[in-house]
Amino acid sequence: MTDAPIKTVREQVVYQNCFVTVMDDHIEFPDGRAGRYLRIIESGGRPGVAALAECNGRFALVRTFRYALGEWEWAIPRGFAHSDDPLVTARRELTEELGAEPVEVVSIGTVTPNSGLLSGTVHLVHARYRTEVADPLDTDEVKGVRWADLETLRQEIRVGRIVDGFTLAALTAAAVHGRISL
């Protein structure tokens, strides 16, 4: 970025594991002042995915415990990168979390979940199934699968039962791409 208003002076890794790298970057503002920015790189910088899975007008939600929130959450399947190709990652995540591979997976855009802290993007996909599947392979992560129609999803969003940002973003992206009608 040649027109970036903030210049990176030195990148400093302060923590790293198989999921994230935490950077404490030394930076310089346009007026010459020094500063620091914390930055988290997920999955080695490869994009994750969030998948809106559909079967005959009903959409798959998975129940997972979100440790960072300390709560159970119903949301669309999602996960870290398994490949540089987000469609490969989407197929793998859907198979792990729902129990079968979809017949179609189409990219519907990307989202930056927290661009003030996370340096990556997440690919959004719309996947189609011929039959509703609910047999997750990863039962440590997924404790339930259910399929809901759009009216049920709208109601659960209205009353605050569905609050996951990826679910909300995928529904919006699918609608603006003409894949679903909200």
Range of the domain at 113: 46-176
In a domain, 2, yes or no: no
Residues 36 and 101 in one domain: no
Cβ burial 47-61 (10 Å sphere, 16+ → b, else e):
bbbbbbbbbeebbbb
Q: Is the pLDDT of residue 2 over 70?
A: no
Residues 32 and 120 in one domain: no
The average pLDDT across 31-57 equals 95
Residues 24 and 67 in one domain: no
Say whether pTM exceeds 0.75. yes
Q: Please tell me the total count of domains within the chain.
A: 2
At 150-161, the pLDDT tens digits run 999 999 999 999
Residues 69 and 158 in one domain: yes
Residues 22 and 67 in one domain: no
At 108-139, the pLDDT tens digits run 999 999 999 999 999 999 999 999 999 999 99
Average confidence score pLDDT of the chain: 95
In a domain, 182, yes or no: no
For residue 3, what pLDDT band results from cuts at 50, 70 and 90? confident
- The closest of 25, 48, 62, 31 to 138, measured between CA atoms, is 62
